[in-house]
């Protein structure tokens, strides 16, 4: 039995589908099972991983845990200690490729992700462990750019030349499934990226090519972009971290790796493949 936290999230949901397709027994933890929409073959239970006592009974019979850094929050260590007491043997922690950066340049921390804490807890747990360190998810461009693309042909933002090796969430989930099901990856921090590192301007052009519309990226002052995000309701600390990350540019931590290909036996999915998978979200 595999217990998945963050079961309805960007990574957890496709991970569950993959595990179910492999015939694995899956127990999915969610705060609201009634709205989860998970497959019938999956045992869906109500609980809060940030309060380990609420899921203690669900650890019985579990051999491996997928640890989501936002779901567990500051309680990752306590959750894994409880898991070890209940006989769990393996943990796969979702982390991030930038966890060693200055926390002020890690936007996801201001949305509740405790990536470093999740990885550190896994390493210290006494369980077999694997840490997934994905680059920024390609789906982030959907959240940032789709509203502009649905109403026009220009995407306005800062730092047109900023580049990073965005990764398809499906690749992260597939590597996670392999780490949960197979031996051979234990004790590794897996730096997962897409196959190349396009700039903001290049990414917008790719979206246009895939959806059949000429799109362009127009660079605007960082201050104006940041103010727009705040006006849309994003927290100021998150916006400040995002802008600090953009201003720093791409560093060694975000170099392209071949981990996805070596683990899955195929190249990482490209950004144009990701756009094709989500094309409807960019159109009216």
Cα separation of 208 and 216, whole Å?
8
Q: What is the DSSP letter of 158?
A: S
Q: What is the pLDDT of residues 136-163, one digit of tens each?
A: 999 999 988 999 999 999 999 999 999 9
Name the strand (E) or helix (H) holding 88.
none
User: Mean pLDDT across the stretch 54-65?
Assistant: 95
Task: Quickly state the pLDDT bin for 254 (edges 50, 70, 90).
Answer: low
Which comes out higher in pLDDT, residue 15 or 109? Answer: 15
Q: What token pair was written down for 23?
A: 């015939």
Which residues, other chains included, contact 93 with Cβ-Cβ below 8 Å and sequence gap of 6+? 67, 69, 76, 118, 119, 121, 122, 129, 130, 131, 132
pLDDT at 106: 87
Tell me: pLDDT of 251 over 60. no
* Per-residue confidence band for 2, with pLDDT thresholds at 50, 70 and 90: very high
Q: What's the pTM value of the predicted model, to 2 decimals?
A: 0.93
Q: Give the largest Cα separation in the chain, rounded.
A: 57
pLDDT computed for residue 206 by the predictor:
97
pLDDT by residue (tens digit) across 255-280?
A: 899 999 999 999 999 999 999 999 99
The lowest-confidence range among 39-53, 57-71, 201-215, 237-251 is 237-251
The long-range contacts involving 97-101, CB below 8 angstroms and separated by at least 24 positions, are 97/133, 97/134, 97/135, 97/136, 97/191, 97/192, 97/193, 97/253, 97/254, 98/245, 98/253, 98/254, 99/133, 100/253, 101/245, 101/251, 101/253
**pLDDT score for 232:** 83
pLDDT band of 107, cuts 50, 70, 90? confident
Say if CB 222 and CB 158 are below 8 A apart.
Answer: yes
Residues forming a β-bridge with 124: none
Q: What is residue 249's predicted lDDT score, i.e. its pLDDT?
A: 73
pLDDT band at 193 (very low <50, low <70, confident <90, very high): very high
**CA pair distance 272, 138, nearest whole angstrom:** 10
- What pLDDT is stored for residue 84 in this prediction? 96
Report the 10 Å Cβ neighbour count for 128.
17
What pLDDT, on a 0 to 100 scale, did the predictor assign at position 253? Answer: 43
pLDDT, average across residues 112-125: 94
Average pLDDT, whole number, for the chain? 93
CB–CB of 39/7 below 8 Å? no
Q: What is the mean pLDDT of residues 222-226?
A: 93
Q: How far apart are CA 140 and CA 136, in angstroms?
A: 7
CA distances from 242 to 110, 151, 204, 274 (A): 10, 24, 19, 22
271 touches 138 (CB < 8 A): yes
Q: How much is the pLDDT for 252?
A: 44
- pLDDT, one tens digit per residue, over 9-36 is 999 999 999 999 999 999 999 988 877 7
Give the position of tokens 């499934």.
Answer: 177
DSSP 40-74: TTSEEEE--TTSGGGGGGGGTT--EEEE-HHHHGG
Is a pLDDT exceeding 90 seen at residue 283? no
Q: What is the CATH number of domain 2-136+167-194+252-269?
A: 3.40.50.720
């Amino acid at each position: 039995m595999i217990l998945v936290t963050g079961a309805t999230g960007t990574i957890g949901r496709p991970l569950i589908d993959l595990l179910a397709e492999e015939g694995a027994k899956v127990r999915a933890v969610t705060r609201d099972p009634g709205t989860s929409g998970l497959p019938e073959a999956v045992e869906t239970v109500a609980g809060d991983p940030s309060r380990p006592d609420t899921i203690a009974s669900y650890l019985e019979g579990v051999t491996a845990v997928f640890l989501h850094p936002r779901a567990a929050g500051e309680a990752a260590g306590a959750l894994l200690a409880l898991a070890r007491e209940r006989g769990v043997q393996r943990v796969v922690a979702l982390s991030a490729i930038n966890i060693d950066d200055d926390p002020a340049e890690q936007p996801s921390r201001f949305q509740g992700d405790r990536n470093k804490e999740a990885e550190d807890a896994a390493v210290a747990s006494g369980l077999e462990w694997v840490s997934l360190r994905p680059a920024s998810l390609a789906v982030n461009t959907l959240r940032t750019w789709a509203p502009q693309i649905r109403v026009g042909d220009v995407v306005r933002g800062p730092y047109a030349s900023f580049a990073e090796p965005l990764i398809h969430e499906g690749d992260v989930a597939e590597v996670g499934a392999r780490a949960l099901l197979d031996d051979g990856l234990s004790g590794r921090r897996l730096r997962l990226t897409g196959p190349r590192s396009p700039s903001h301007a290049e990414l917008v052009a790719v979206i246009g090519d895939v959806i059949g519309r000429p799109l362009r990226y127009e660079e605007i002052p960082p201050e104006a972009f940041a103010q727009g995000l705040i006006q849309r309701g994003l927290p100021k600390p998150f916006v400040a971290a995002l802008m600090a990350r953009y201003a720093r540019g791409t560093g060694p931590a975000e170099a392209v790796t071949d981990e996805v290909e070596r683990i899955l036996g195929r190249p990482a999915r490209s950004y144009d493949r990701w756009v094709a998978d989500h094309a409807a979200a960019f159109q009216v």
